[in-house]
Structure 1
Amino acid sequence: QSANHEVGTEQPVARAAELCAAAGVPLLVDAAQSLGWGPVPGGWSLLTASAHKWGGPAGVGLLAVRKGVRFAPQGPADERESGRAPGFENIPAIVAAAASLRAVRAEAEAEAARLRVLVDRVRTEVPRLVPDVEVVGDPARRLPHLVTFSCLYVDGETLLHELDRADFSVSSGSSCTSSTLTPSHVLKAMGVLTEGNVRVSLPAGTTGAEVDRFLEVLPGVVAEVRDRLGAPAATAPSPAPRASLVVDSLGRRCPIPVIELAKVIGEVPVGSTVTVLADDEAARLDIPAWCEMREQEYVGEEPADRGTAYVVRRLT
């Protein structure tokens, strides 16, 4: 990927191309998310993109093959396009895709500078306005219109539903798996919180007033969802410490196991452990991420009769 679709981080394509060239390996670059903002640098071999990403017609894909790169299409082929196309092309849509890309690129520099300011505002203000939020992705080497953050103690799907009711269309998790309710493989690879994830993509023409309204609505929405799930308050007093304990969250989806862990961590002495029993796969990702955010020690997993036992040691 020239830039990650989920968190917007730009990837070192030129460096990857150098390594591939030295090894005699062709490099295929997915430029769908970035091509509307500018050319992809580096000596890539093949480049793909999708017109709908820059406002062109849906259903039109782009494949660029650099001169000198050997290319053999897979699947049905005939004499059209040197064997690269299995049937008749939609010429009007292809022309529209090229025209729309040219039009978008003509304004890309100015629009990118404008949207980057708005995204910077979201990246700065969301952690200030909403407790227990993690903004992910490189803060500087990124696309100008994307920002992703994760809210602790929040179910992502519920949060999206409430934001939709407030007239904000955002997404959660990887765009390619958002309908499966599975943890984002991108966030999993980054080692950050996967639950309560919000991916905001600002379309061209987004105004400062619209971003201000989003920042005004978001804290109340997150607070309402957390309250509904029984999440601990940010300033909740800790009860008197007691011995190490076990939290049974079997049969409950994340973020409930993390919420239950947060509720009781203050009840054990520093140095003692809390064991969370859970059978939701997301717990394997979110409990270590919570420990990182809360400066607690994630000891690891232990076998259990049902599900998995996740052991956390209190450090603070």
Structure 2
Amino acid sequence: MNEPPAYFDAASAAPLHPVARQAMLAALEDGWADPGKLYTQARRAHQLLDAARAATAEVLRVRPDELSFTPGGTAAAHAAVLGGLVGRRRVGGTLVHSAIEHSAVLHAAERHVAGGGSATSVPVARSGRLDLDAWSTAVAAPGVALAALITASHEVGTVQPVAEAAEACATAGVPLYVDAAQSVGRIPVPAGWAVLSASAHKWGGPPGVGLLVVRKGTRWESPYPADEREAGRTPGVPNLPAIVAAAAALRMADAEATAEAGRLSPLVDRIRATVSATVPDVEVVGDPVDRLPHLVTFSCLYVDGEALLHALDRRGFAVSSGSSCTSSTLRPSHVLEAMGVLSHGNVRISLHRGSTAAEVDRFLGELPEIVADLRAEAGVVGL
């Protein structure tokens, strides 16, 4: 009998949490009106929006009026970067960011540079960890308006030294924006940041809901035309049923985070150790200790990434291959390139609350044969 497919791409989109489904269905019945209006149905919708905002803010340990909902994590990242730069344009026009930021942040940086600004990329070590000395030097330079640091690598799982980076920013008087998409709902985000973004479908909420948090006292201006909704930070009518579902899923993810980390981290350790022992010419990348509990990446020499993805999919394993930001093109990962590690035949495994030890064992049992077959097809033998 064929085994059910194993979904190993939660870092891209985690399966919808059951409580999110229930909350969304309820909100579709009770929260369909425009919360910005004054009639009865609208007031009820506004109550639901306020409750979702308060619940989300409580998990993030921020004020509700510091939190806005956006149409997704990418929109939140773009607004965080561009709004932070606009708000500090009198100080200067330089953005400092790590070399391994998500593509959404890098694309915002490109837009800023095209408009006459500048950007400084800070390198990382082979483990994927930020070079703190280089970071401290970069943020202390004249004219730096904003610094951007991902809280944990979306591709290799390395947790970044956010607290130390924030301290360097505070010394230089530069606000820090953190992309917390992979952290929220899984591990705590250290204090010291001024702007934060996150994405609901990473923690089991529905797609199309992002979080933008701007702490009080932070100079930030919306890069969009004026809109009275969401404190003027993001335009358009909020998708209330999805927001309610996202808030419900986040509360559950936060409550389950410690237990899930304790369950998934040993499975990731098993993948790291077994892949290294059973697949020749493979490199498991990312910090083995200071890492996200659910994510592991490895690269196989002499294997085409697209072919490996399809071969695994045919065996019932949904994984990310190539760059997680550009999987439609399977261009080499800018994160792996910045780390200076092998990028051929790259596989990212990211587990979720439904992942099982049996699925992991089946994957580990089949992977060596799959890689060997692909190498044989390419004429690579005798490894």
Q: TM-score, normalised by structure 1?
A: 0.72
Q: How does 1:26-175 map to 2 (within 5 A)?
A: 26-175=175-324
Percent identity between the two aligned chains = 70
Q: Is the 8 A contact 2:306 2:322 kept in 1?
A: no
Aligned partner of 1:237 in structure 2 is none
Aligned partner of 2:358 in structure 1 is 209
Q: Is the 8 A contact 1:122 1:211 kept in 2?
A: yes
The runs of 5 or more residues in structure 2 that have no matched partner are 1-149
**Which segments of structure 1 move beyond 6 Å, counting only runs of 4 or more?**
none
Of Structure 1 and Structure 2, the greater helix share is in 2
Q: Is the 8 A contact 1:151 1:197 kept in 2?
A: yes
CA offset digits 1:199-225 (Å, max 9, x no partner)? 111121211111110011000000000
Number of equivalent positions: 234
Displacement of 1:68 in angstroms is 1.5
Aligned partner of 1:274 in structure 2 is none
Aligned partner of 1:182 in structure 2 is 331
RMSD between aligned residues? 1.0
Larger Rg: 1
Displacement of 1:171 in angstroms is 1.0
- Structure ranking higher on relative contact order (CA contacts 8 Å, 6+ apart): 2
Aligned partner of 2:153 in structure 1 is 4
* 2:357 is the alignment partner of 1:220: no
Q: Is the 8 A contact 1:6 1:173 kept in 2?
A: no
Q: Is the 8 A contact 2:185 2:254 kept in 1?
A: yes
Q: Is the 8 A contact 1:6 1:199 kept in 2?
A: yes
Counterpart amino acid of residue 16 in structure 1: A
Displacement of 1:178 in angstroms is 1.5
What SS does the aligned partner of 2:321 have? coil
CA distance in 2, matches of 1:160, 1:147: 15
Counterpart amino acid of residue 371 in structure 2: V
Counterpart amino acid of residue 284 in structure 2: V
The runs of 5 or more residues in structure 1 that have no matched partner are 235-316
CA distance in 1, matches of 2:366, 2:338: 30
Q: TM-score, normalised by structure 2?
A: 0.60
Aligned partner of 1:231 in structure 2 is 380
Counterpart amino acid of residue 18 in structure 1: E
Q: Is the 8 A contact 1:134 1:151 kept in 2?
A: yes
Q: How does 1:156-305 map to 2 (within 5 A)?
A: 156-234=305-383
CA distance in 2, matches of 1:21, 1:84: 24
CA offset digits 1:77-117 (Å, max 9, x no partner)? 22223321322112222122111100111111011111000
CA offset digits 1:25-73 (Å, max 9, x no partner)? 1111000011111331021000000000001010000011112212211
Q: Is the 8 A contact 1:15 1:42 kept in 2?
A: no
CA distance in 1, matches of 2:236, 2:378: 53
Displacement of 1:181 in angstroms is 2.6
Q: Is the 8 A contact 2:321 2:330 kept in 1?
A: no
What SS does the aligned partner of 1:64 have? strand
Displacement of 1:12 in angstroms is 0.6
Segment of structure 1 superposing worse, 1-10 or 68-77: 68-77
What SS does the aligned partner of 2:318 have? coil
